[in-house]
Chain A
Amino acid sequence: MTEVSIERLTMDYGVHLAVDGISLRIRNGEFISLLGPSGCGKTTTLKMIAGFEQATSGAIRFDGSDVMQVPAEKRDIGMVFQNYALFPHMTVAGNLAFGLEMRKLPKAEIQSRIAKVLEMVQLSSHAERYPIQLSGGQQQRVALARALVIEPKILLLDEPLANLDAKLREEMRVFIREIQRRVGITTVYVTHDQAEAMTMSDRVVVMFGGKIAQMGTPAEIYDQPASVEVAKFVGQVNLMRMTVDAVSADGSMDLSGPFGPIRVKAIAGAAPGRSVTVAVRPEAIDLVALGEGRPATIVSSYYSGSLMDYRVRLADGTLIDVQTFPRQRFADGDAVGLSVSADRWWPLEINA
């Protein structure tokens, strides 16, 4: 079980700066996700950790020793690829045995490890099948097994669920996380799907444009996003412009805006008269009777079974998204009241 530390890692292609001096420490047995839109540098970072790409500068350490000059085949990593990359001309057992044969393990050991890992991924009866005979989900499990059977220092996954359909993706999320917990291996998971990152990770590293925008637990990323970009990328969010009325000595500031006066934690640069962008998640807004909250009108509604999404218009014309449980259904045109508890407002940045 390994600790990975990345120090000021940079990948400069000349025409394009893919990764811009990022640093992070991954603890022993931790599951971290690199989350971001395509082109943000997350896959390049993963490839550098794996050794398939050479960084232009910076350091990558496994348990303290620098692996930059170590070729990929000697880094003792386990990697799961987006398209599974199972060797088509070998059976499942053959695929699993390959990494063990590279490590020159005795035959008996190879057999026993294969049997154990197949049991872990619930494919014991498929050992003699060829990849082409397996479904997408099964192939993915074999790919995972192949990476784990060699008992590597770290597990790297490159958007492994991207090619699976929605239902299967949800099942596999749980599956992968369970196995990772059981084995306790340090894991780096790359994805652009924020639901995946949030449900699976101990910590999430959000990346934009080659840099780390925010690093923290899923709750920290969701409830306390560090910037407008992060807030928009992870989950749905309402962004409202409000004006600073006053800043108090106790570290809070009073804002006024389409929602009326609110009091939130003060942020750097706050001064009376300045404009602030404030975030509030759709599920943080309650729909109450007209007189009991901020007046608004339902514009449109979307029912998804477990949840209800509303588009709502405030008195001054601002449109907001609200999400509730469908305990009470409102129709388009209904007048309602909006209520938000004070601790759900999250100020993001002072506007220029």
Chain B
Amino acid sequence: MSKTFFTIFCLLIYIFLLAPIVVVVLASFNAGAFLTFPPQGLSFRWYVVFFHNEVFWRAIKTSFWIAGVTTVISCIIGTMAAIYHVQFAGKLKETVRVAMMAPLLLPEVLTAIALLFFVYTIGIGTQTVLPMIIGHVLITLPFVFINVSASLETYDVSWTMAARSLGAGPFTRFRRIMLPLIKPGVIGGALFAFIISFDVFTISFMLKSVGMSTLPLQLYDYLRTNFTPEAAAVSSLSVFLTLVVVVVTEKFLGLKIHRF
């Protein structure tokens, strides 16, 4: 009896978790001109409007390439740090972990402000995209670190020793033994990094250079003044893109995991 109550309770919470996303997607198909719920009829018209909206498309492109650059940098730095943390840190292990997790534990708002002040103080300001990339890398680093570290914890050091005994130098060992075996962690981290960078708001808000806009920024701007479902169409597309990226990566990862 109480078990059913419990299950229903949990079900309601799952609905609660999905609610806003589902609502946005549904609202995007609203045939009417105002953002009401339930929709006044179903139509793709707002997708068409959005399709012709240069501003939004530019923002999506910007978000994409910034996320791409961020992911690459974050994965390289994060993987190196994770390898150090799991295999070489020794007594510093906990310190390294806290330091790497710091961008996640500290409020994003404060980190954004801190970076803003800092880049002005050292003179580079926000005229270039550099501060934004640095901010994005900082925010995504913990995710790459966690994922790769988790993969590394299951990595057996005797594999490296065996490879050494067979004559493999450090780069060969990394390329042929370690990397293939931590690939799930790296890819998982890359996935998180990409999505987080794509969706992040506050850091981009504070550090953007003039004329540049990412999708979240553009959406926010739009939402403050407009009330048409066009924003819902943009949002739905963004959600859909994220889903595609996740599913494609799952398939790719899935194949790899099957191996061992």
- Asked if the two chains touch in their complex, CB atoms less than 8 Å apart, one says yes
Q: Which of A50, A86, A98, A103 has the most CB of B within 10 A?
A: A98
Are A99 and B259 in contact (CB-based, < 8 A)? no
CB pair B161 A146 closer than 8 Å: no
Q: Tell yes or no: A74 within 8 A of B by CB.
A: yes
Chain A residue at minimum C-beta to C-beta distance from B177: A87
Contact B260 A102 (CB under 8 A): no
* A130-B259, A130-B260, A132-B260 known; A87 vs B162 contact (CB < 8 Å): yes
The total of chain B residues at the interface (CB under 8 A) is 19
Chain B at the A interface: SS class: helix
Q: Is A52 an interface position by the 8 A CB rule? A: yes
Interface-side segment among A17-25, A77-85, A325-333:
A77-85
Instruction: Find chain A residues with CB under 8 A from B162 CB.
Output: 79, 81, 85-87, 146
A130 CB to nearest B CB, Å: 7
Known A76-B167, A88-B181, A89-B259; judge A102-B158 contact (CB<8 A): no
With A130-B259, A130-B260 already in contact, the answer to whether A85 and B168 are too (CB < 8 A) is no
Q: Within 8 Å CB of B168, what residues of A?
A: 73, 98, 102
Of residues 20 through 65 on chain A, the ones whose CB sits less than 8 Å from some CB of chain B are 50-52
Size class of the contact patch on chain A: 20 to 34
Alpha-carbon gap, A51 to B165, bound state (A): 9
Residues in A with CB closer than 8 Å to B165 are 50, 72-73, 77-79, 147, 156
**A150 at the A/B interface (Cβ < 8 Å)?**
yes
Q: Are B167's CB and A73's CB within 8 A?
A: yes
B88 nearest CB across to chain A (Å): 15
| 15 A-B contact pairs sorted by A residue (CB < 8 Å) | A50-B165, A51-B164, A52-B161, A71-B164, A72-B165, A73-B165, A81-B158, A85-B158, A85-B161, A86-B162, A88-B260, A89-B181, A102-B167, A102-B172, A147-B165
- Chain B contact residues, CB within 8 Å of chain A: 156, 158-159, 161-169, 172, 176-177, 180-181, 259-260
What 5 pairs between A and B have smallest CB-CB spacing? A99-B166, A102-B167, A85-B158, A79-B165, A85-B162
